Structure 1
Amino acid sequence: MGSTSTRNNGEGLGRRDLIKRSAALGLITVPTMSFLSACASGSDDSGSKDTSKGKVTKDNPFGVAKNGKLEVVVFKGGYGDDYAKAWEALFAKKWGTKTSHLGTQEITGKLQPRFNGGNPPDVIDDSGAQQIKLDVLFKGGQLLDLQAVLDAPSVDDPSKKVSETLIAGSTDPGLQGGKVVSLNYVYTVWGLWYSGKLFKEKGWAEPKTWDDFLDICKKAKAAGIGGLAHQGKFPYYINLLIMDLIAKTGGLDAMKAIDNLDPKAFVGSDAAKKSIEAVYEIVDQGLLMPGTNGLTHTESQTRWNQYKAAFIPSGSWLENEQLKQTPADFDMKFLPVPLLPGSKLPFEAIRAGSGEPFIIPTKASNKAEAQEFMRLMLSKEWSTSFAKEANSLTILKDGVDPSVKLRPGTQSTVEAVKAAGDANSFNFLYPNWYSEMDVAIQNASNELMSKRIQPAEWLKRAQAAVDKAAKDPASKKNHRA
């Protein structure tokens, strides 16, 4: 997911991704049957209106014609859309292309009718709270297989394929049925965040254990500050904390059990039980920032920026999203989720991976331009441009010119990624594979944080969502080894 403002989260995150960036209670629903039916009508490229007739060469692997057209739609959330406008200007300068741009948070509202009508845009950043669910689009044959882009020569080093220039595993979140059908472009880190200034003033040390984390929350409460703020109207965010705690407590096997729809992914999982009980302890002890359950992402984050809470969960789009609300001396810092006793992963372990899914519809009118645009996204020039405009990293290895100075929060994520290394970096895939299951777990988390259900009931509801997803024959195509 991208994030609701990046999500899947995200991200984000599914940043979005994550967010990145991402699904959110109240703003997303399971797609209607009319949309499902409409998606099912387009099964391959046969309906394409692509009219590009350029000559195919090593420098022009998709045969882009001069003076063509390209329509780009991006989710205007935590990263804004200035980065895309900069890209489009570079593309137009190179190819003389007439580009059409839309930055919006209403992805479903703006684009669902166009998918239904068979005339979608060429390149889409399908993220945010109103993301059109990738698994639904894939089942309807609406997503172009991006393998040709990954197999194309790298812009920076034509002796290498594009895929050989990317961070290991960064294309995995784009898998549906064994095919890469979305390019999760932003390299996102998910976890907790705090103010370096506040911690210095209070004499608080960065907590590495759950007990130390709770202790700071209690000290914050005693000082008239909330312990944990979360984006209550969008339970995608609190799920970042819950799911990361499960993964760190039970190890990668606990994570894979959820992605692989194990009949004991939640009910019967000691790691899940310990983790959800630990998170509920924050609620039960009154350590939440007052009112946070009823706030949107920006409302909670802004109050956090006003020093009304010690911690908040989010993806690494947070800094850019809060630029206008963050005091100059706030000193934003990233914190890996602290450990419960007996955790199988170390404190340094983080959920890190690609978020912000970019897609090319099978019925895009200008697929050659769209594929070349995506190939150029994975060049150092365009990756550096993104870092400058959006204060975030991309999935391109060493993709940012070292002369670019990063903001404190972004720099702290760079340090966290280095500390974790490949061995201690993990990422969940179920939000992209099983959107209905993701929403059901988010809804359960919303009930838990509002104290309307207890941990045992949360586990039952989460497991029921897993069991329902497992009954779908299409789920057999998705598996993590």
Structure 2
Amino acid sequence: MSVSPDLNRRTLLRRAAAAGLLVTPAVGLLSACAGSTPNESDNNAGEKSNDNPFGLQDGSAVKVVIFNGGLGDAWAKEDQAIFSAKHPNVTVNMSSTQKIKTEEQPKMATQPSDLIMNSGADLMDLSTLVNEGAIEPLDDLLAAPAWDSEGTVADSLLPGTVSDGTFQGKFFVVYVAFTVWGNWYNGALFDREGWAPPKTFDEFFTLAPQIKAKGIAPYVYDAVHGYYPRWALMASIWKSAGKQAVVDIDNLKENAWRAEGILPALEAWEKLVKDKLVLPGKLDHTQSQQAWLDGKAAFIQVGTWLKNEMAATIPPGFEMKLSDYWGVTAADKAPKDVFAGAGEGFVVPSKAPNKAAAKEFLRAVVSKAGSAKFAELTKSLASTKGSGDNVQDPALATANELMKNAGSDLISVKLWDFYADLDKESQNLSQELMAGRLTAAQFVDKMQAAADKVAKDSSITKQTRNA
């Protein structure tokens, strides 16, 4: 996964069921958290030091919930070992699930888990958690000494990790994976056929007939989860229209969706669909990825969790390589900017019984040792600097190379974290466009109307993005 995202695939990854949050019984429970004061027991308060910055007390226990998706959970067990080596008298109760919202949200107003990896399709809506005071600000974690390196925790994190987890001026979410998104292809196939991976849509459209002549679909994508195609659409918009256009979209600026460069970006995807360059069938993420591995399609767009998620079915001799999203036109404003960022976010509930232990566990997760194990086991970068330095993996190497040649800004989008309604609408419209049931112009009109509706709704707390 996630290098969450989901991304934040599942940064990630992002709230496929966000709207469902608004109608579940747990919303009333979350509301009870608003304005709540920390209720951490004094029994969990120990003496503070550089090695124990939150005053974690021996004899206490911490409950940690891991999202067991494309990244698996083996890396988290390594973090548990690292934590327990320093705090052998603290009990770690770790569990793994893919049903984060279903299992954890009902407990948020009573006695929640201490640390929750809020990721996957069934995750809790982040904007609701923040707005209702259901999760703890973690600015003190950023200021704490790094576990096993110089400086603070904040100093140890890759660019964008802190800003991605910051809402309303406070740091709430610790994203532990650093995902690079783009177009994956089989290097062995391309070498055998003498094909060069395209850098622009025009080059792709020129290559596509050659690919089809070999009985291969030029492109495949997850047609079930709307946030998958949305990554590609938003990456193209950023490259074509530039960073400021996306910042304006996130900030609900009037007519932001009508900025110069946005329509051509979407029209390129409309042409890809109209030219019948997509593998037929409504495939989900693993089905589309398997079809690509089986040689039924030449390209698939997804993040760097791909290899770990599909490790069991990668054919012998298949060379996973990642290339950047294709440029749109010669007038692109940000052609070298790469879609990358932190994902797979951990949150600490405001009513967690042992917040000190939760924060200390997070220090271990983003430690030099923990992040190195993460990269080794998942073949994806962690959000800690240098995590992949000693990992020898060809697929990860192509992601690293892409990052080395990236522009000055990393592509990032906030609207799906800021507003649940826009998250849902943008997913639905992305699916409609990629299914050929919506034109690029109609996509723009509908997204602008949805943004206007949110902007005019005084009951919705507005978020602001500066960079």
TM superposition score category, shorter chain reference: over 0.9
Q: Which residue of 2 aligns with 1:437?
A: 422
- Is it true that 1:14 corresponds to 2:45 in the alignment? no
Q: Distance in 1 between matches of 2:55 and 2:236?
A: 47
Name the Cα RMSD after superposition. 1.9
Q: Which residue of 2 aligns with 1:146?
A: 138
Corresponding letter in the other structure for 1:223:
K
Q: Distance in 1 between matches of 2:334 and 2:131?
A: 38
Q: Distance in 2 between matches of 1:30 and 1:361?
A: 17
- Residue 426 to residue 468, structure 1, CA distance change in 2 (3 Å): same
The 5 Å alignment of 1:24-63 reads 24=16, 29-32=20-23, 34-44=25-35, 46=37, 48-50=39-41, 51-63=43-55
Q: Which residue of 1 aligns with 2:382?
A: 394
- Residue 192 to residue 100, structure 1, CA distance change in 2 (3 Å): same
Structure 1, unaligned stretches of length 5 or more? Answer: 1-5
Q: Distance in 2 between matches of 1:346 and 1:208?
A: 13
Q: Which residue of 1 aligns with 2:297?
A: 309
Cα displacement (A) at 1:378: 2.0
The 5 Å alignment of 1:405-416 reads 405=392, 407-416=393-402
Q: Distance in 1 between matches of 2:126 and 2:222?
A: 23
Q: Which residue of 2 aligns with 1:281?
A: 271
Q: Which residue of 1 aligns with 2:309?
A: 321
Contact 1:441 1:461 (C-alpha < 8 Å) held by counterparts = no
- Residue 458 to residue 241, structure 1, CA distance change in 2 (3 Å): same
Q: Which runs of 4+ in 1 moved over 6 A?
A: none
- Is it true that 1:123 corresponds to 2:115 in the alignment? yes
**SS where residue 199 of structure 2 aligns?**
coil
Q: TM-score under structure 1 normalisation?
A: 0.92
Cα displacement (A) at 1:198: 1.4
Q: Distance in 2 between matches of 1:296 and 1:448?
A: 16
Q: Distance in 2 between matches of 1:416 and 1:453?
A: 32
Q: Which residue of 1 aligns with 2:214?
A: 223
Deviation digits for residues 91-143 of structure 1 (CA, Å, limit 9, x no counterpart): 2232122211221111111112112x421111111011111111011111011
Which shows bigger deviation, 460-469 or 296-305? 460-469
Contact 2:418 2:463 (C-alpha < 8 Å) held by counterparts = no
Cα displacement (A) at 1:472: 4.4
The counterpart of 1:374, out of the listed 353, 362, 366, is 362
- Residue 165 to residue 93, structure 1, CA distance change in 2 (3 Å): closer
- Is it true that 1:214 corresponds to 2:201 in the alignment? no
The counterpart of 2:74, out of the listed 76, 79, 82, is 82
Cα displacement (A) at 1:221: 2.0
Q: Distance in 2 between matches of 1:91 and 1:57?
A: 16
Deviation digits for residues 21-43 of structure 1 (CA, Å, limit 9, x no counterpart): 22337x96353163332212113
Cα displacement (A) at 1:156: 2.6
Q: Which residue of 2 aligns with 1:3?
A: none
Structure 2, unaligned stretches of length 5 or more? Answer: none
Q: Which residue of 2 aligns with 1:109?
A: 102
Q: Distance in 2 between matches of 1:202 and 1:62?
A: 58
Cα displacement (A) at 1:53: 2.6
**SS where residue 270 of structure 1 aligns?**
coil
**SS where residue 29 of structure 1 aligns?**
helix
Q: Which residue of 1 aligns with 2:228?
A: 237
Deviation digits for residues 330-350 of structure 1 (CA, Å, limit 9, x no counterpart): 111111111122343454321
The 5 Å alignment of 1:161-180 reads 161-180=152-171
Contact 2:15 2:125 (C-alpha < 8 Å) held by counterparts = no
The counterpart of 1:183, out of the listed 145, 165, 174, is 174
Cα displacement (A) at 1:69: 0.5
Contact 2:252 2:455 (C-alpha < 8 Å) held by counterparts = yes
Corresponding letter in the other structure for 2:383:
I
Which shows bigger deviation, 384-393 or 44-53? 44-53
Contact 1:53 1:65 (C-alpha < 8 Å) held by counterparts = yes
Which shows bigger deviation, 345-354 or 390-399? 345-354
Contact 2:235 2:411 (C-alpha < 8 Å) held by counterparts = no
Q: Distance in 2 between matches of 1:408 and 1:45?
A: 48
Q: Distance in 1 between matches of 2:141 and 2:111?
A: 22
Q: Distance in 2 between matches of 1:58 and 1:162?
A: 12
Deviation digits for residues 154-194 of structure 1 (CA, Å, limit 9, x no counterpart): 22345x22112222222111122121110111111112111
Q: Distance in 1 between matches of 2:394 and 2:335?
A: 21
Contact 1:209 1:340 (C-alpha < 8 Å) held by counterparts = yes
Contact 1:305 1:327 (C-alpha < 8 Å) held by counterparts = yes
